């Protein structure tokens, strides 16, 4: 009797946030949880992992303010900071776009951890902030969103460039992050600047841009 082939298990989808949810989190951070702002900005605009910003153990390395190269518009994720894959080194440079810079400049420091708190304290504040913002907690959801929206907003840059910025393999990017997202939706994500919740018109969009 021939062996019956086993059905393939579909790859679980990595959930992402909407631009409006991203804006709600940034607004909440700037008004009540300013210490979380670097994490939201660096994960949501610059593709960083939470583990690259918040240390679990005292000896772990995390991103420093000195790793942000303001003049070069780059973020240096050093070998000791980069985490998450089996490759020998995930050292990389991620772009510091104008939107991310606009959010970080008011709280810019010359040195020290970008997110100077323990993992326990971070978790407590993160739960409070997301509850008040009314958004679900998605593990590394801001990073996943940034990758997906970047691919949609700038398809000409392609999977290869985005994988370098994010510290993932191209196969991982293709497998998990290529989605049916309109370019206008991708651009909206990276234009979240104003804490007054800019209208769609302010971003050059209409409701039709977000229709299924």
pLDDT level of residue 39 (50, 70, 90 thresholds) = very high
pLDDT digits (tens, 9 = 90+) for 180-189: 678 888 888 9
pLDDT, tens digit, 9 for 90 and up, residues 161-177: 777 877 776 676 666 65
Highest mean pLDDT among 69-78, 81-90, 199-208: 69-78
**Length of the chain as a residue count:** 212
Q: Return the SS3 of 137.
A: coil
In b/e form, how buried is each residue of 158-167, taking b as 16+ CB within 10 angstroms? Answer: ebebbbebbb
Structure tokens at 211: 């229709």
On whether the CB atoms of residues 37 and 103 are closer than 8 A, the answer is: yes
- What is d(CA 143, CA 47) in angstroms, rounded to the nearest whole number? 5
User: Is residue 8 packed enough to be buried (19+ CB in 10 Å), middle (13-18) or exposed (0-12)?
Assistant: exposed
Q: Is residue 104 scored above 80 in pLDDT?
A: yes
Residue 77 has pLDDT above 60, yes or no: yes
pLDDT reading at 116 higher than 50: yes
In this prediction the pTM is 0.81
Model confidence at 197: pLDDT above 50: no
How high is the pLDDT of residue 191?
A: 85
Asked whether residue 15 carries a pLDDT value surpassing 90, the answer given is: no
Mean pLDDT of 86-96: 79
The answer to whether 82 and 89 have CB atoms below 8 angstroms apart is yes
Looking at CATH, the fold of the domain delimited by 19-195 is given as hpI Integrase; Chain A (1.10.443)
Q: Give me the helices (H) in the chain, please.
A: 19-32, 37-46, 98-104, 119-133, 141-153, 158-166, 170-176, 183-189
- Distance between CA atoms of residues 143 and 131, nearest Å: 19
**Confidence bin at 121 (pLDDT 50/70/90):** very high
- Quick one: average pLDDT of 115-124? 96
């Amino acid at each position: 009797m021939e062996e019956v082939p086993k059905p393939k298990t579909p790859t679980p989808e990595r959930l992402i946030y909407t631009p409006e949810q991203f804006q709600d989190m940034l607004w909440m951070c700037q008004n009540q949880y300013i210490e979380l702002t670097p994490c939201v900005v660096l994960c949501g605009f610059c593709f960083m992992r939470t583990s690259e910003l918040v240390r679990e153990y005292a000896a772990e390395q995390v991103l420093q303010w000195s790793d942000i190269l303001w003049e070069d518009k780059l973020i240096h994720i050093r070998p000791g900071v980069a985490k998450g894959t089996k490759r020998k080194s995930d050292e990389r440079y991620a772009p510091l776009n104008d939107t991310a810079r606009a959010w970080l400049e008011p709280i810019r420091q010359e040195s020290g951890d970008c997110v100077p708190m323990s993992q326990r304290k971070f978790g407590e504040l993160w739960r409070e902030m997301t509850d008040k913002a009314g958004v679900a907690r998605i593990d590394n959801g801001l990073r996943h969103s940034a990758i997906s929206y970047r691919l949609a907003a700038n398809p000409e840059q392609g999977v290869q460039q985005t994988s370098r910025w994010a510290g993932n393999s191209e196969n991982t990017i293709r497998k998990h992050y290529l989605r049916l997202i309109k370019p206008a939706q991708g651009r909206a994500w990276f234009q979240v600047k104003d804490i007054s919740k800019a209208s769609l018109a302010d971003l050059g969009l209409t409701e039709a841009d977000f229709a299924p």
